[in-house]
Structures are given as C-alpha cells and as structure tokens.
C-alpha cells in the first residue's frame, strides 16, 4: 500500500523465523431440491482453522537513506479463524442465481503489536467478520447473456502506516459492496470456434 504514495517497502525475514502451519477442520451439509423447472441447492458449512506461528510484519516506522519503509517478517503467537458459510444456488431455464454469505471470527491467540506506538490487539487486521457475494445470469435469448455480480465486504480493522500527513493508526473500515454487470453475445464462427463480444462496467457504485 505504501507504493500508492510512491514509497517502497522493504521486507526482511527474521533470522529466527519459523515455518507457518495450520490445522483446518470443516463440516458441511448439502441439500438439493427440484420444483418443476426450478433446481435448488443449499450448502451450509462450518470451519475452524488453528494457525501456528502465523506470519506478521513488524516495523514500518523507520526508513532507510532512500526513504524506503523497513519491515521485518516475524512469527506471531498463532491465531484462530472460525466461522460458518452458507451458499444458495437457484436455476431456472433462463435464469441462474448464486448467493453466498460468511460469518467469520479471526483473532490472534495473544495480543499482537501492529505498531510500536499503539496498543496491541487480538483482532487480525484486514479480515472482515462477514462477507458475501451475488451472481445473476439471465439468458433472454439464444447466445445473449446478461450477468450481474457483486461482492460484499463487512467492516474490518485496517492498519494505516504513518505518512507526512498522519500518524500510525488502526481504523475500522466501513462496509462496502463492489457491484458490476456485463452483456455478452456469442457469435458462432465454426462448429468448434465461437467469438464472444461483451461490454460492461465494474464497481458501479465506486465503493472501495
């Protein structure tokens, strides 16, 4: 992220850095149902991951002679990531809908220091507690498809390294929804070759 402001971040490995390992467990239930021309599928899944010696970055407060930010990759005390996920798919002859939503909890096992001048915290940065997606495909006629998609990201803690304009800080970001759409038409050139023409827009609501 420092590169956005024209700065370079140099990351070195701690001499005592150990490999990061994880043990993951999950259980899911999958349901299928058909109502005439409508096909439905519901997936519910729970997951639990134990991260041992998870990597994290320290530093960023100092720079070298060229003004590059200096970081060191070290091991943390580990972390636990757990949650539940649900996905739903509905399909008609001309319409297909997919929905997904995840509730997640991501915390370090012990309080970890993000910046030297700020209080340590257990919440893992840049890991939202909830997120989801939506995909809608509509085929009004042969070879023509209208697609609408979106990704929802909930609030999360985001570290902001110090710059010429602000001090080190950890903010709680706002939720946002990244939506887009695409129109596509397929031209059959031969029996085995098709040409697809498409146009669309990404991030329609300009959210980030």
Residues 165-189 pLDDT 10s = 778 888 899 999 999 999 999 998 8
What is the pLDDT at residue 10? 85
Residues 129-174 pLDDT 10s = 999 999 999 999 889 999 999 999 999 998 887 777 778 888 899 9
Rounded Cα gap, residues 182 and 53, in angstroms: 43
Residues 81-94 pLDDT 10s = 999 999 999 999 99
Residue ranges per structural domain of the chain: 2-201
Rounded Cα gap, residues 150 and 133, in angstroms: 6
CATH 3.40.50.300 correct for 2-201: no
What is the pLDDT at residue 89? 97
Total residue length of the chain = 208
What is the pLDDT at residue 115? 77
Quote the pTM value: 0.80
In terms of Cβ atoms closer than 10 Å to its own Cβ (0-12, 13-18, 19+), residue 37 is exposed
Rounded Cα gap, residues 146 and 203, in angstroms: 16
Number of neighbouring beta carbons within 10 Å of residue 18: 11
What is the pLDDT at residue 14? 92
């Amino acid at each position: 992220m420092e590169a956005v402001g024209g700065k370079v971040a140099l990351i070195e490995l701690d001499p005592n850095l150990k490999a990061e390992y994880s043990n993951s467990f999950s259980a899911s239930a999958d349901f299928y149902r058909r109502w005439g021309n409508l096909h439905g599928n519901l997936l519910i899944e729970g997951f639990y991951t134990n991260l041992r010696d998870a990597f994290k970055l320290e530093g960023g407060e100092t720079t070298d002679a060229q003004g590059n930010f200096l970081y060191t990759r070290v091991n943390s005390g580990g972390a636990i990531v757990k949650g539940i996920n649900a996905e739903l798919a509905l399909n008609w002859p001309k319409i297909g809908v997919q929905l997904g939503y995840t509730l997640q909890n991501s915390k370090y096992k012990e309080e970890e220091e993000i910046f030297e001048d700020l209080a340590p915290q257990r919440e893992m940065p840049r890991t939202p507690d909830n997120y989801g997606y939506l995909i809608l495909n509509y085929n009004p006629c042969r070879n023509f498809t209208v697609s609408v998609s979106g990704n929802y990201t909930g609030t999360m803690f985001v570290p902001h390294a110090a710059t010429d304009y602000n001090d080190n800080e950890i903010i709680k970001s706002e939720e946002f929804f990244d939506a887009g759409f695409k129109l596509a038409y397929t031209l059959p050139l031969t029996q085995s070759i098709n040409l697809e023409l498409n146009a669309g827009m990404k991030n329609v609501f300009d959210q980030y």
